[in-house]
Chain A
Amino acid sequence: MLQEMIFAGFGGQGVLSMGTLLAYAAMKEGKEVSWMPSYGPEMRGGTANCMVNISDEPISSPIVSEYDVAVVLNQPSLKKFESRVKKDGILIWESTHIKEPPTRKDITVIPLPAVEKATNDLKNVKVMNMLLLGALVKLKNTVKKESLMIALKDTLPRRHHHLIPLNEQAINLGMSLV
């Protein structure tokens, strides 16, 4: 089963990290993975995205034009990627900042006020990407939550390991919201 996904938002929002964690967790479950960043002349505050493919079979193209799942964190990304979600696919969008909601009716649209929830419930806006990731994993069963925890431990530098419990709370909160 092949899942083709895109994570898109502003640089600094953690879109590349979300993709990395998910791909790493899937690899730990024995799946084939590819993670492809947009690596243009970009900067903090500019747009960033990464395509993540996860499959039981070897992955042919790491670059695709339509996605099973899109997770978008800002308005420009929603504008760019809404039309590229496959029919019956899932679009998860951060609804605190994105003012103009998606309009498509042939896909599942999931608004999630991740910024607001992270700020109010977890007192740290930085983990809002983990909320969205939790929601995605709940909806698609892409990986087990335990694998995400292993991924956090393996990919976060040791000096940030004290933040793992907070990230776990964020993932749990994201899972509970969908």
Chain B
Amino acid sequence: MAETRFMKGNEALGEAAIRAGLQGYFGYPITPQSEVVEYLALQEPNHNYVLIQAESELAAVNMVYGAAAAGARVMTTTSSPGFSLMQEGISYIACSELPCVFANIVRGGPGLGTIQPSQSDYFQATKGGGHGDYHLIVLGPNSVQETVDHIYLAFELADKYRSPVMLLSDGAIGQMMEKVVLPDPIEYKPDKPWATTGKTPDRERNIITSLFIQAEIMEQRNLKLQEKFKKITENEVRYEEYKLDDVEYIIVSFGLCSRISKKVVDQARESGIKMGLFRPITLWPFPTKPIEELASINSVKCFISVEMNAGQMVEDVKLSVNGKKPVYFYGRTGGIVPTPDEIINHIKENLL
């Protein structure tokens, strides 16, 4: 039954996965994500999923690979350095076309970095991350509620496209508590005739692999993947528009930054500046067309990408705007979260 609770983002993520029919979780603790592992470990006796605390992120991702190949609804969660360690496995999973869910509760990098929130893994999440030509579907939740909703959506999209899906969240959303409405639990019945569930006399063997030694066959797999990515790009773009009627200055922001930017927009509007917010919800596929359309509006003066990194999504904004309007950037790095005041001051001093 749907239920309202006051929960941390990480705990809500775990609870959402359980309700969405989680069958296997393989993970390794890392701040600021550890509460997901803790919550799922605590709840394990009451549910029918398998939970293994792996010996490393490498082990965890390969356990996900194996369980997904066997047709289970599986997930792992980690934070930035751990997500880097998983990249090899994710590339294999993408090539093998296996549905599964990843969540990266991002902390500031590069390197071992800091445990504070950041959005500095945007490139890694949206441009591939591992080797080879592939994409994950990347969702960017901006609240505890959306973390929950996106977990449901992620599992659904993963099955629909036989593709790994990830949540690109951050330490702040993971650690903060908000009111959350938990949806009804799903009784998950996998329909995966391709899964390696044991050969029966009436069918051929199911083989899951990412190894295609012959170039021609490998190219065929690539074309198939590209066809799928095209279909996803056409059908799964999601975004939010806020106060964009009559707009002159458009902030583009995702995740936690979009919440802060919303306040910036409200403050700007109070002082008579025609500002609005465009928020990509799917970071891949990126909402290129809607941004391009906004760039074509005469009254729009410029775009400002506000991020918690040194300027990553701004590249996708520029590609979408395609030279029609100037695109600026404001960001903080290293785990610093910009405040509404500093963003609006920066805009007033430099752009107005």
Chain A contacts to B: CB under 8 angstroms: 20, 23-24, 27, 32-37, 39-41, 59-66
The interface residues of chain A lying within 8 Å CB-to-CB of B115 are 39-41
The interface residues of chain B lying within 8 Å CB-to-CB of A41 are 115
| Beta-carbon contact of A34 and B177 below 8 Å | yes
What is the bound-complex CA distance between A66 and B340, given in angstroms?
A: 10
| Beta-carbon contact of B179 and A39 below 8 Å | no
Which residues, 332 to 346 on B, are CB-close (under 8 Å) to A?
A: 337, 339-342
Chain B contacts to A: CB under 8 angstroms: 4, 6, 31-32, 115-116, 171-172, 175-179, 256, 259-260, 262-263, 266, 337, 339-342
What is the bound-complex CA distance between A23 and B144, given in angstroms?
A: 15
The interface residues of chain B lying within 8 Å CB-to-CB of A40 are 115-116
| Beta-carbon contact of A39 and B260 below 8 Å | no
The interface residues of chain A lying within 8 Å CB-to-CB of B179 are 27, 32-33
What is the bound-complex CA distance between A37 and B6, given in angstroms?
A: 14
| Beta-carbon contact of A63 and B6 below 8 Å | no
Taking the closest CB of chain A, its distance from the CB of B35, in whole angstroms, is 10
| Beta-carbon contact of B259 and A20 below 8 Å | no
| Beta-carbon contact of A20 and B172 below 8 Å | no
For B259, give its contact among A37, A60, A65 (CB under 8 Å). Answer: A60
Minimum CB distance partner of B32 in chain A: A39
Taking the closest CB of chain A, its distance from the CB of B172, in whole angstroms, is 7
What is the bound-complex CA distance between A61 and B340, given in angstroms?
A: 8
Minimum CB distance partner of A24 in chain B: B6
| Beta-carbon contact of A60 and B262 below 8 Å | yes
| Beta-carbon contact of B175 and A23 below 8 Å | no
Known: A39-B171, A66-B341. A61 touches B177 (CB 8 A): no
| Beta-carbon contact of A61 and B176 below 8 Å | no
What is the bound-complex CA distance between A151 and B263, given in angstroms?
A: 29
The interface residues of chain B lying within 8 Å CB-to-CB of A60 are 259-260, 262-263, 266
18 A-B residue pairings within 8 Å (CB atoms): A20-B177, A23-B177, A24-B6, A33-B178, A33-B179, A34-B176, A36-B172, A40-B115, A59-B178, A59-B259, A60-B259, A60-B263, A61-B259, A61-B340, A62-B172, A63-B256, A63-B339, A65-B339
The interface residues of chain A lying within 8 Å CB-to-CB of B172 are 36, 62-63
Taking the closest CB of chain A, its distance from the CB of B9, in whole angstroms, is 10
What is the bound-complex CA distance between A60 and B256, given in angstroms?
A: 10
Known: A36-B175, A37-B176, A63-B339. A23 touches B6 (CB 8 A): yes
The interface residues of chain A lying within 8 Å CB-to-CB of B266 are 60
For the complex with contacts A33-B177, A61-B263, A65-B340, 13 further pairs of A-B residues with Cβ separation under 8 Å are: A24-B6, A27-B6, A35-B176, A39-B115, A60-B259, A60-B262, A62-B172, A62-B178, A63-B172, A63-B259, A64-B340, A65-B342, A66-B341
Taking the closest CB of chain A, its distance from the CB of B255, in whole angstroms, is 12
Taking the closest CB of chain B, its distance from the CB of A30, in whole angstroms, is 10
| Beta-carbon contact of A33 and B341 below 8 Å | no
What is the bound-complex CA distance between A65 and B341, given in angstroms?
A: 7
What is the bound-complex CA distance between A103 and B303, given in angstroms?
A: 42
The interface residues of chain B lying within 8 Å CB-to-CB of A62 are 172, 176, 178, 256, 259
Taking the closest CB of chain B, its distance from the CB of A11, in whole angstroms, is 15
Minimum CB distance partner of B116 in chain A: A40
Taking the closest CB of chain B, its distance from the CB of A137, in whole angstroms, is 18
For A36, give its contact among B6, B32, B176, B342 (CB under 8 Å). Answer: B176
The interface residues of chain A lying within 8 Å CB-to-CB of B260 are 60-61, 63
The interface residues of chain A lying within 8 Å CB-to-CB of B340 are 61, 64-65
